[in-house]
Amino acid sequence: MNLAAPYSILGEVDAWAGFANFNGRRLIARQRSWRGSRPKLIPDPIEPLAAARCVEFPQIDLREAAAGGIVLQMQSTQLDQLKRMTCVVADTGDFATIKEYEPQDATTNPSLIFKAAQMPEYKHLVEKAIMDAKKLNLGREAMAARIVDQLLILFGLEILKIIPGRVSTETDASLSFDVQGLIDKAHQFIDLYQKNGIPRERILIKIASTWEGTRAAEVLQKEGINCNMTLLFSLPQAIACAKAGARLISPFVGRILDWHKKSTGKEYAPSEDPGVQSVRAIYAYYKKFGYPTEVMGASFRNVGEILELAGCDLLTISPQLLGELKASTAPVEQKLNAKMVAESKLERISLDEEKFRWLLNEDAMATEKTAEGIRNFHADAMKLERFVAARL
């Protein structure tokens, strides 16, 4: 049978008959038994389909369905619903996971690449990075560093074969306070991608949200190199990134929650989560004052945090939480919207280097988590470097 829209037949459920997939959503057919009057066939308003997108059930005739009690019902997963209001990004270096959840973009960092590089299925990428670096006649230490860079690019290239959008590739954490070093590293990454046929528009260069990071981003953005400002924990950091013209920021929701839980000993409901509230404030500030910088919530600890930020420009989500969203069909409500922005009481904050450093210093959580994040990313980069050096 051909249906120009999904239809439901009212009645009592007897047994599940079967299901098919349509556009990534589950289309479920249930057999019903009837008592009393003949059931009615009614349009389902949840997800109307264009006539060109008819659903085929060759074994079912529409009249038989009305007489025998078949219901066709669209059931959108929470992940599908979220994708309709937010750009979903996969926070992983595992290609199989990216293929499974079909995100628009993907993010990587040294920790994720170190984890993926140890998996047998990616051994060939490690070997290729080593082989390419050996052609450059470098010393052992410089060669190991070059292999790490090459690995980041190789993983990025493979990810870009899967996703339609952009991949984020992270600069060395050790360069977090080195403006020229960050600019040079970004140029190196873009050059390596372009040599492999990837335009700069599909790359986001990840830079820590230090003052120096924002200065480097300002230069790079003017050159048409888009930046993803990471390790961001406060509104002053977000404002500095926006004023620099950064394409995207990644406020770390879960790490903000971690700090507050440790500091207060309290548990927080998702709507009261300090990380969620931080992103809501940043989102409202950007939209209220017309900054085009995209907000991408990151580092989630639970699905509740994600759902409280439904409607954010982007959300980068771990495989585990993507799986939980895909397994649920509970309704998702858009929480970040024009009404929320209009109700914001935030006032414009003027910011220069001195004001930025002072406000960051006054925020113990943001100061501690930024420094901790830089140290940890550097430590994982060093683990990755030792991992490849042992294979030289």
Q: What are 272-322's pLDDT values in tens digits? A: 999 999 999 999 999 999 999 999 999 999 999 999 999 999 999 999 999
Residue-wise pLDDT for 129-184, tens only, equals 999 888 888 888 889 899 999 999 999 999 999 999 999 999 999 999 999 999 99
C-alpha distances in angstroms, 130 versus 125, 171, 388? 9, 19, 8
The active-site residue, picked from 206, 287, 335, 369, is 206
12 - beta bridge partners? Answer: 33
Q: Are 256 and 363 part of one and the same domain? A: yes
Domain that includes residue 383, residue range: 79-389
The residue out of 35, 54, 75 marking a domain boundary is 75
**pLDDT-based confidence at 6, cuts 50/70/90?**
very low
Q: Is the pLDDT of residue 29 over 60?
A: no
Instruction: Specify the CATH number for the domain of residue 176.
Output: 3.20.20.70
Average pLDDT over the chain, rounded to whole?
84
Q: Out of 12, 44, 75, pick the residue that ends a domain.
A: 75
* Count of CB atoms situated within 10 Å of the CB of 290: 7
Active site residue 355: no
| Neighbour tally for 282: CB within 10 Å | 26
3-state SS assignment for residue 206: strand
> What is the number of domains present in the chain?
2
Look at residue 42 in the predicted model and tell me its pLDDT: 34
The verdict on 69 and 131 lying in the same domain is no
The string of pLDDT tens digits covering residues 85-126 is 999 999 998 999 999 999 999 998 888 888 899 999 999 999
372 or 55: which leads in pLDDT: 372
- Identify whether residues 170 and 39 lie together within a single domain: no
d(CA 392, CA 390): 6
Tens of pLDDT, residues 209-230:
999 999 999 999 999 999 999 9
Q: How confident is the model at residue 74 (pLDDT cuts 50, 70, 90)?
A: low
Query: In the chain, what percentage of residues exceed pLDDT 90?
Result: 69
Domain-ending residue, one of 13, 41, 75: 75
Same structural domain, 245 and 329 = yes
Residues 326 and 372 in one domain: yes
The sign of the torsion formed by the CA atoms of 90, 246, 179, 209 equals negative
| Amino acid, res. 360 | L
In the predicted model, is pLDDT for residue 383 greater than 80? Answer: yes
Query: Tokens 């986001």 sit at which residue?
Result: 204
243 three-class SS? helix
**DSSP per-residue letters across 89-115:** EEE-S-HHHHHHH--SEEE--HHHHHH
